[in-house]
Amino acid sequence: MHTPRKRFGQNFLEDRAVVEQIIAAIGPHAAERFVEIGPGLGALTSPLLQRIEHLDVIEIDRDIVQTLRSAHPANRLTIHEGDALEFDFAAVGRELRVIGNLPYNISTPLLFHLSGYAGIVRDAHFMLQREVVQRMGAQPGTAEYGRLSVMLQYRWSIDSLFDVPPTAFRPAPKVWSSVVRMIPYRTLPHAAENETLFADVVMRAFGQRRKTLRNTLKPQLSAPDFDQLGIDPAARGETLGVAGFVRIANLIAARGS
């Protein structure tokens, strides 16, 4: 039996009912192109391969890689050994359906990394810490709303599907998990002229949550700028939706500041 490794954040899903619930939510079809992040002991891998023709998986644990190679023929399962944070999803193809029980310790950077490939992704289904899923889909003005919410909602439609108890895993984590569905927008509802600038504005706004936008975005925005934008300079970043942040970034970009 494989011993879960803390440095890889391994919590192996073992509840078959939960596995079936996830597979049903995904709704796989034979010819679709799937990529699984962190297959682990194959809780999702094996049932997926019963429904699809081929599966690509990304796995960093060498022992698990060997186990997977022994269990599945190479023409059905392609194993990419390495760190998912450095993986080039474009090398697999387009219209990707991405799935995974993501390690809690790297879930946020993984979500940001995948967002860079949103143009070639059809959808993504992930098991994550429930608190992270709540932050992903949080609305302005709530305690959970923050940088992660804005940056993901800029590019994805996010839907929390169902919760999973700690007892579904080995070892059992100390927190509940949730399964989330992410579908990339084919046309962005609110498009930033300069996405790097947009990301910088969001980071500044949430860098010190208790400060007002007047302070966090100084000297990028003046009082007349806030008037032009129709945004209260005394408001905090957590009150502003994606559209508001895009308007700010686009104003700054337009004047080349």
Q: Where are the domains of the chain?
A: 6-184, 195-254
Higher local confidence (pLDDT), 104 or 135: 135
Is the pLDDT at 73 greater than 50, yes or no? Answer: yes
Q: Is 211 exposed, middle or buried (0-12, 13-18, 19+ CB in 10 A)?
A: middle
pLDDT (mean) for 55-67: 93
**Residue tagged 């192109």 (tokens):** 33
Query: pLDDT per residue over 164-195, tens digit each?
Result: 999 999 888 899 999 999 999 999 999 999 99
How high is the pLDDT of residue 8?
44
What's the whole-model pTM score?
Answer: 0.92
Q: Is 4 exposed, middle or buried (0-12, 13-18, 19+ CB in 10 A)?
A: middle
pLDDT band at 10 (very low <50, low <70, confident <90, very high): low
Residue 158 tokens read as 């996010």
Query: pLDDT per residue over 120-132, tens digit each?
Result: 999 999 999 999 9
One CATH from 3.40.50.1000, 1.20.140.10, 3.40.50.1220, 3.40.50.150 for 6-184: 3.40.50.150
- Which CATH architecture is the domain 195-254 placed in? Orthogonal Bundle (1.10)
